[in-house]
Amino acid sequence: MKRLMPFVVGALLALAPGVGSTETLSHSGTIAGLDPNAWTIDLDEVGPWRVRDGATVLTRYRITVTPFTNFVRARRVAEGGPRGYPGDFLEELLLPWTLRVGDFVTVLCQHDGRFITALEIVVSEADGR
């Protein structure tokens, strides 16, 4: 049995693509759901652009949030932004879980197989927020 074990482990790893590989990607879209108790957000992203039956197809991602996830708000400033031009974005730390369904966000994610973990969530400030 001991002689078979390396072959069994090797076969299982060959059948599980992506195991042990990680990738960092950004996803932008609208928050479709929040569950602070489960530490997850559901994000609806448009892209790649697809249409089915006359409607835009959204890709839904369930993203895990951790205590180390940074929450940031990006808001436009009329004058004197960080780079010195009108209309620039100013980024400010945001209190965790002050997100709302419908917020437009960009999430920097660590993909590890089927698991997606948020490293940073940037909320684009809408009028009146």
Can you read off the two tokens belonging to residue 91?
A: 């980024």
Q: Is residue 5 part of a domain?
A: no
Query: What single DSSP character describes residue 66?
Result: -
CATH number at residue 117: 2.40.50.320
Residues 67-73, mean pLDDT to the nearest whole number: 95
Q: Is residue 15 part of a domain?
A: no
Q: What is the pLDDT of residue 83?
A: 65
Q: Is residue 80 part of a domain?
A: yes
Tell me, what amino acid is at 82? P
Q: Is residue 27 part of a domain?
A: yes
The beta strand positions in the chain, using DSSP E, are 22-35, 40-45, 51-52, 55-56, 59-64, 70-76, 89-93, 104-112, 115-124
Overall domain count for the chain: 1
Q: Is residue 76 part of a domain?
A: yes
**Per-residue confidence band for 71, with pLDDT thresholds at 50, 70 and 90:** very high
Q: Residue 54 pLDDT more than 50?
A: yes
Q: Tell me the whole-structure pTM to 2 decimals.
A: 0.73
Domain limits for position 94: 22-124
Residues 42-46, mean pLDDT to the nearest whole number: 94
Q: Pick the residue with more confidence: 121 or 128?
A: 121
Residues 85-101, mean pLDDT to the nearest whole number: 84
